[in-house]
Structure 1
Amino acid sequence: MNVLFIEDDRMNRRVVKDMLDVAGATMTEADSAEEGLRLLDQNDYAMLLVDLRMPGMDGLTAIGHIRARTDAKAGVPIIVVTADAALDLRDQCLAAGADEVLFKPVAMDALFDAMGRILARAADGGTIV
């Protein structure tokens, strides 16, 4: 499984990469939403992990761009990974098109559980790019 992680913090990317390595997944890194959108144009990913607070374009805006696509990549599963703890943030992320929301620091079991829920939904008739 190839996962794209859009996150401006190098250490956060490293921690999640180490977790995904355990699962045998490969991870492509983007240090900005703009770079992530370019990589999505050029490659296929089974899943995206997206931080919300980044310089330039924020994660919710990036999710909006992805969901507005007219190709199959518009349906790529998205897990928001954020340190923001606003009370209504989960609802905002889901309304924007995220499939799951995780709060930092991300625990390996929480990440794998979220990924598993997405894969299970896809097996029940959803699609994964």
Structure 2
Amino acid sequence: MRILYVEDDAMNRRVVRDMFASLGMDLDEAPDVATGLRMVDAEHFDAIVTDLMMPEADGLDLIGAIRRRADLGASVPILVLTADTSDVARENCLRGGANDVMTKPVGLATLVERLGRAIAASDSATFS
């Protein structure tokens, strides 16, 4: 399983990378939206986790760009991991095309459960 994590903060990337490593999984990482989009163009990912607020372009920009891509845009699960706990941010993310929104700090069990749920929902939508 390939997961892409788009996050501008190196410490946050390390924390999530360590969480995945504890499960024996590798995590592909991008420090910004532009890099994340280049990686999506070059690789297949089973899911994408993105920060919401980043300089230059934010998580909503990333989600919108991916959702507009006919080849994978509708099917790849995208989860937002953000420090913004407001209902408005959550609604904007979901309306913008995110499958789920989690707040930082996120625990390993929550991350795995929500990611698994989004991937399972995507798989059943793809094959039904």
TM-score (norm 1): 0.91
Cα deviation 1:47-79 (Å, max 9, x = unaligned): 100001111011101100100011125421101
Q: CA deviation at 1:33?
A: 0.6
Cα distance in 2 between the residues matched to 1:65 and 1:6: 14
SS of structure 2 residue aligned to 1:48: strand
| Letter of the structure 2 residue corresponding to residue 112 of structure 1 | V
Cα distance in 2 between the residues matched to 1:17 and 1:4: 10
Question: Does 2:24 match 1:9?
Answer: no
| Letter of the structure 2 residue corresponding to residue 116 of structure 1 | G
In the alignment, what sits opposite 2:125? 126
In the alignment, what sits opposite 2:51? 51
Cα distance in 2 between the residues matched to 1:66 and 1:122: 15
RMSD: 1.6
TM-score (norm 2): 0.91
In the alignment, what sits opposite 1:116? 116
Cα distance in 2 between the residues matched to 1:8 and 1:79: 16
In the alignment, structure 1 segments of 5+ residues that lack a partner are: none
| Letter of the structure 2 residue corresponding to residue 118 of structure 1 | A
Cα deviation 1:2-44 (Å, max 9, x = unaligned): 1100000011011111111222322111000111001100001
The 5 Å alignment of 1:27-106 reads 27-106=27-106
